[in-house]
C-alpha cells in the first residue's frame, strides 16, 4: 500500500518552467519504480516519464528534452522538472508507483490524486 500526493502545479506562461513533486508514504519508497502521467480534458491518459530504483530513466518522445524525472529516496519524493512549457502541456499531472518496473509505463498499481498544470499562451 502506497499513498502519493502531488504538489507544485499551477499557472505558468508558455516558455516557463515548473517543478512538480510527489511525496510517497507507506511501503519503502526506494523499492518502487516511479512515474508521471498526464491527462487533459477529453483526451486519453498519457505516459510521460519513469524512473527505476537504480535511477534509470525513460522519457516519452512528447516531452523528451524538456521534462526530466528524478527521485530523492531520503525524502521519499519524486520530481518532474518541466521546462519550455507549451499550452498543449496543460493537463492534470499524476504521480504513479509500482514495485515492477515493467508495469510503471503501462498499468502502475498506485496513483496520486493529481495536480493541475495550466500553461497560458
- What is the tens place of the pLDDT at every residue in 47-86? 999 999 888 999 999 999 999 999 998 898 999 999 999 9
In sequence order, the 6+-apart residues with CB closer than 8 A to the CB of 106 are 47
- What is the tens place of the pLDDT at every residue in 2-58? 899 999 999 999 999 999 999 998 777 778 999 999 999 999 999 999 999 888 999
* pLDDT on residue 9: 97
**What letter does residue 23 receive in the DSSP assignment?**
E
Amino acid at each position: 500500500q502506497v499513498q502519493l500526493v502531488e504538489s507544485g502545479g499551477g499557472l505558468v506562461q508558455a516558455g516557463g518552467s515548473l517543478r512538480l513533486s510527489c511525496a510517497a508514504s507507506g511501503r519503502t519508497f526506494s523499492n518502487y519504480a516511479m512515474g508521471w502521467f498526464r491527462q487533459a480534458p477529453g483526451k486519453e491518459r498519457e505516459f510521460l516519464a519513469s524512473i527505476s530504483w537504480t535511477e534509470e530513466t525513460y522519457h516519452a518522445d512528447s516531452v523528451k528534452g524538456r521534462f526530466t524525472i528524478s527521485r530523492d529516496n531520503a525524502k521519499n519524493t519524486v520530481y518532474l522538472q518541466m521546462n519550455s512549457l507549451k499550452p498543449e502541456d496543460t493537463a492534470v499531472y499524476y504521480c504513479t508507483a509500482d514495485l515492477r518496473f515493467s508495469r510503471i509505463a503501462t498499468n502502475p498499481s498506485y496513483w496520486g490524486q493529481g495536480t493541475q498544470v495550466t500553461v497560458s499562451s
